Amino acid sequence: MKKIIYLFGSTLLVLSCEQPEVGYISDNIHSLQDTITVPRGVFYSSTPPAVEGSTYPMEWSITGVTDKDGKPTTELQDLHEILTWTAPFDPKTDTTLELAMKKLKLSPQPSIIMNPVSGEFVFTQASKNVVNDDFIINVNAKNVRGERQLDKFTWVKMTPFVPIEFKTEMRSRLQLGKGGGVWDTGYTYSVMNESDPKVAGVLDGTDPYITIVKISDEPKLAVKVKMIIADSHGTALDPNKVVFNYSGSEPLQNYHDNTIGTVLDAESTTFGLPAPPFPQYARNYQGNDAYLMYYLTTADAFTVDKAAFEAANGVKDWTNYIDPATGQIRNRAYIRWGVKINDSGTWEIKMKIPYTTKK
């Protein structure tokens, strides 16, 4: 009986010396994006991969890149000197060019970087120099339990550089006033997003109401944006008659917040930033809506072109909008921009307000 107890006790002793398994690493770690489509020359980050219950922290690294035929290439990892923002522009603190320049860094960077902690891919503006279109990425994932070599982890497809992104809906709107601060929508012209068929005309300058064209390659590294608001015939408005759109006591986000000083001439307001993308700052929104920028015109900027309006839209009863003091139709413009400028140089953004004539 004593011998049996001794053996049982020995067994317990042996079991107590065995080390328990630490952590877990899955055999099914995978990218959530089979193909990552990246516009050249634009900062872009991918979705973090699925680790399928693997123990954190994880450590990630790129172990190789091949072309679409499986031949090794260093094209995505070759270094190119680029100017990058190390922190977002803030108009409250970056009040001079010198202060803003402290947030910019000219340095050699690869086109692709893998975040070693999250596993996200980050694509830098250096990708503007990438020639080939398709790449296969091999990675390694490691944690306390072990590691996994993940060949053909994801496919990267480079698309052409997009100097202008249409992030959200833009509007050129004629508003009609009833008096007492009440405004109706008279007519709205919209460009919805990058899929809108109007985009081609916007970029080549032929759209009837909204155009965005590059007018100079200078400055080489910085960006300037010249905003023109005009009547429906193309006559530019005095920029002093283009004012902020307020919500309560605060203006909605605007291009003035995204510049270090503004320059006005008789027909335009020019905004400047030491490096793209522009705009950099969003007062009210995030995501695609971060690119919404709002303005109004003063009520004495235009007269309404009634003949043109009725020729296109039919006869209208204007009675509620007539100012008894002047006999004219109360009106103003509602202006909403929604683009992101990724390229340096000088850009002209012009919006004509439907059915208006400059006073």
- Residues with Cβ within 8 Å of 218's Cβ and at least 6 positions away in sequence, in order, are 345, 346
CA-wise closest residue to 267 among 244, 295, 300, 241:
241
Separation between Cα atoms, residue 128 and residue 111, nearest integer Å: 8
H/E segment holding residue 59: strand 59-67
> What are the sequence ranges of the domains in the chain?
21-159, 164-358
CA distance 89 to 276: 11
What pLDDT score does 10 carry?
43
pLDDT at 171: 98
What pLDDT was estimated at residue 215? 98
> Rounded to 5 degrees, what are φ and ψ at 40?
-60, 145
The first and second tokens of residue 194, run together, are 């990058």
- Number of H helices and E strands in the chain, helices first, is 4, 25
Q: What percent of the chain has pLDDT over 90?
A: 91
Q: What is the mean pLDDT of residues 130-138?
A: 97
How confident is the model at residue 42, as a pLDDT?
Answer: 87
Q: Considering only 16-20, 249-253, 349-353, which range has the smallest mean pLDDT? A: 16-20
Residue 294 dihedral angles phi and psi, to the nearest 5°? -120, 140
**Residue 9 pLDDT:** 44
pLDDT digits (tens, 9 = 90+) for 28-73: 999 999 999 999 998 889 999 999 999 999 999 999 999 999 999 9
- Cβ(302)–Cβ(356) below 8 Å: yes
- pLDDT of 19 reads 62
pLDDT at 22: 84
Looking at residue 49, what DSSP letter applies?
P
Give the separation between CA 265 and CA 239, rounded to whole angstroms.
8
Tokens of 310: 């009725």
Q: How far apart are CA 195 and CA 172, in angstroms?
A: 18
Amino acid code (one letter) for 323: D
pLDDT attached to residue 6:
41
Distances 264 to 228, 242, 271, 283 between C-alpha atoms, Å = 10, 11, 9, 23
- Give the model's pLDDT for residue 18: 60
Q: Which two tokens stand for residue 308?
A: 């043109």
pTM reported for the whole predicted model: 0.82
CATH 3.40.50.720 fits 21-159, yes or no: no
pLDDT at 237 > cutoff 80: yes
Mean pLDDT in the chain? 93
| 130 close to 158: Cβ distance less than 8 angstroms | yes
| Cross-sheet strand order for the sheet of 121-123 | 44-45, 121-123, 112-114
Distance linking the first and last C-alpha atoms of the chain: 113
Q: Which amino acid is at 280?
A: Q
182: helix, coil or strand? strand
For tokens 């530019």, the residue is 236
For residues 193-204, one letter each, b for 16 or more C-beta atoms within 10 angstroms of the residue's C-beta and e for the rest, the string is: eeeeebbebbbe
